Structure 1
């Protein structure tokens, strides 16, 4: 029974991977794929590269992580170490639960209404990063909460017995013990939000050239490139679309591998 369930789950995954390799491997292996952009290419022209979209995706992910990781970790520390059953902690937990099930398009519309319509800022990659923060924060909070709960209370009590203040116990004892799992969860959460498409369609325009401007103008990303190339209706556009899709899978796979490496690197040594 379990074997049958495993096979049923693996077959669609293998099908997707084989399709991606069959249709997207040729562009990815081309000499210009990682160094050039699609700037100047007509819909019927083969060639070009994904450099512009890869740069935009990594920049958006970096800004998202810089904001959401400290925020999520601090919220989790408060809920586990300080808040406990307080009313504010219950409200914070309720809000995290809501954000955990928030559709990405709703996050994009909220940032559009707040950042662009209310504050008057331009559509930009930074606005996209803000919408991704709404999706990543609950992941970081839940992962950090879980890892903090796993830390034995004996470690905290031993530190308190030595006269170490609570905040220093958290910084020097609790967080280092939970660091491995927290880093893994952060990387997996980042891999998840990098594939979101809906906020990109709402909050930023597409550029076929390389741009590093996160606060104004158009900016490419891998999901947005897939969407735009799908609309060309040409063989060259289809090749670029599948190449971008395979590149996105490779990026997410690399992030997962880094998460596994960090988990082993920062794991608490038992011997």
Structure 2
């Protein structure tokens, strides 16, 4: 009987995954990519295509087709289809990364020569836009103040709105709030600026200021905070809420002591990403803050500048010096947003729930 059972077991030498048991070597995808790049370039050159982007697209098509044909020939059609899906993912990844790397390289190469201590600590006071020198300090200060005020306004409103939608919201009011949050998510920045211009500036009679620009930025930031916080609160297990309520803890205290601390990492990440989203807005600042060459540390009175507006103004001048300052300010803006994202990731990892082993 033992011999019979042993005979029914699969042989250890039996091929796994395909009838032939053949496998593509590990260097095959790289070799296929190199060959596809060469063949795509030859096809583009023979067809008279001047754009390197067209050559890259042809190489991508050749790579996907060659991957399927070679893999299907060696490992079978099933593995060939699987490899095609993997190749498409890699091609889409490269199509997304290449423009990003190109943008970063262009900004760094054109702006790194301008960014130094002098550039970061001086304004354009007393200089013409066509002159050499000058700095970005006034614009950086304006951006920090305006974004900070917008975050102070939008974060608690967005957080409380998300708590209502997840923990309390039912019926028509909840559906209405959800609908308007979705609508606000797609509002163009110029519309938010025009709304604050018509209400805060024209109807109420306030002048241009950094605070007016911060109000418009807060409108753009709120729906992002609501949506990100709402998704994070939904990820909190209901068992935690039920356990707290079973101990007789009121719902508001359960939310404050159990739900929010559990989701604080994701909430912080969402808030920081919302801040990064509004940092690069130009239209509301152009309408409401107006721009200035002077250092104005008071966001509640007088015109201010900001990094996006500074880039727009300097690049519009058209001289070599202004273009260099525009690229330098763009590099500072990218670095500022990158620092915000790194801070968000650090806080999310620090505040993430610790799981015991």
Q: Which residue of 2 aligns with 1:25?
A: 112
Deviation by residue 1:149-202 (Cα, 9 ceiling, x = unmatched) = 000000000001100000000000000000000000000110010100110111
Q: Which residue of 1 aligns with 2:185?
A: 100
Larger CA deviation: 37-46 vs 121-130: 37-46
Q: Which residue of 1 aligns with 2:226?
A: 141
Deviation by residue 1:197-252 (Cα, 9 ceiling, x = unmatched) = 11011112211121112122110100010011112121111111110111100000
Equivalent pair of 1:27/1:47 in contact (CA under 8 Å): no
The 1-side partners of 2:282 and 2:183 are apart by 20
The 2-side partners of 1:18 and 1:42 are apart by 29
Match for residue 228 of structure 1 among 291, 303, 313? 313
Q: Which residue of 1 aligns with 2:94?
A: 7
Q: CA RMSD in A?
A: 0.9
Question: Does 1:76 pair with 2:149?
Answer: no
Match for residue 34 of structure 1 among 120, 133, 140? 120
Deviation by residue 1:77-120 (Cα, 9 ceiling, x = unmatched) = 1111011x321111111110110000000110111111111111
Q: TM-score, normalised by structure 1?
A: 0.97
Please show how residues 230-249 of structure 1 align to structure 2 within 5 Å: 230-249=315-334
Contiguous gaps of at least 5 residues in structure 1: none
Q: TM-score, normalised by structure 2?
A: 0.74
Please show how residues 1-271 of structure 1 align to structure 2 within 5 Å: 1-28=88-115, 30-83=116-169, 85-271=170-356
Contiguous gaps of at least 5 residues in structure 2: 1-87
The 1-side partners of 2:289 and 2:147 are apart by 15
Q: Deviating runs (4+, > 3 A) in structure 1?
A: none
Structure label with greater radius of gyration? 2
Q: Report how many residues are paired.
A: 269
Larger CA deviation: 16-25 vs 177-186: 16-25
Deviation by residue 1:41-84 (Cα, 9 ceiling, x = unmatched) = 2223222221111110000010001010000000011111011x
The 2-side partners of 1:46 and 1:25 are apart by 16
Equivalent pair of 1:183/1:263 in contact (CA under 8 Å): yes
Deviation by residue 1:119-165 (Cα, 9 ceiling, x = unmatched) = 11111111110001111000010011101100000000000110000
Equivalent pair of 1:122/1:215 in contact (CA under 8 Å): no
